[in-house]
Amino acid sequence: MAKSQDKPELIINGKRTDGRAPEDLRPIKIESGLLKNAAGSAYIEWGNNRILAGVYGPREALPKHTSDPEKAVIKCRYQMAPFSSLEEHGRTGPNRRAIEISKVTKEVFENVIIRENFPGSEISIFVEVLQSDGGTRAAGITAAAVALAGSGIPMTDIPYAVSIGKIGEHIVIDLNKLEDNYSDADVPIAFSPRLGKIVLLQMDGNMTKEEVSKALVMAKDAGAIISKLQTDALKAPYLKISEKYKDEAPSDPQQK
Residue ranges that bind ligand CDP, judged by CB under 6 A: 85, 87, 97, 132-137, 177, 180, 188
Least gap, CB of 111 to ligand CDP (angstroms)? 19
The CB-of-109 to ligand CDP minimum distance in angstroms stands at 16
Contact 211, 10 (CB under 8 A): no
**Strands 121-131 and 73-80, how do they pair?**
parallel
Cβ–Cβ < 8 Å for 161, 142? yes
Number of H-type helices and E-type strands within the chain: 4, 12
Least distance in angstroms from the C-beta of 132 to ligand CDP: 3
How near is the Cβ of 48 to ligand CDP at its closest, in Å? Answer: 9
* Nearer CB in complex with ligand CDP: 47/54: 47
Q: Is 208 exposed, middle or buried (0-12, 13-18, 19+ CB in 10 A)?
A: exposed
The rounded Cα 3 to chain-centroid distance in angstroms is 26
Residue nearer to ligand CDP on the CB measure, 102 or 132 = 132
159/188 with CB nearer ligand CDP: 188
Instruction: Decide: 17 and 6 in contact? Cβ < 8 Å.
Output: no
Shortest distance in whole angstroms from residue 180 CB to ligand CDP: 5
Tell me whether residue 124 or residue 132 sits nearer to ligand CDP (CB atom). 132
Q: Which residue is nearest to ligand CDP (CB)?
A: 85
Return the number of the residue (90 or 119) whose C-beta is nearest ligand CDP: 90
- Given a contact cutoff of 8 angstroms between Cβ atoms, the answer to whether 200 and 109 are in contact is no
In this structure, what DSSP letter does residue 157 have?
-
- For ligand CDP, the closer of residues 97 and 228 by Cβ is 97
Report the distance separating Cα 24 and Cα 162, nearest Å: 11
The least distance separating ligand CDP from the CB of residue 226, rounded to whole angstroms, comes to 15
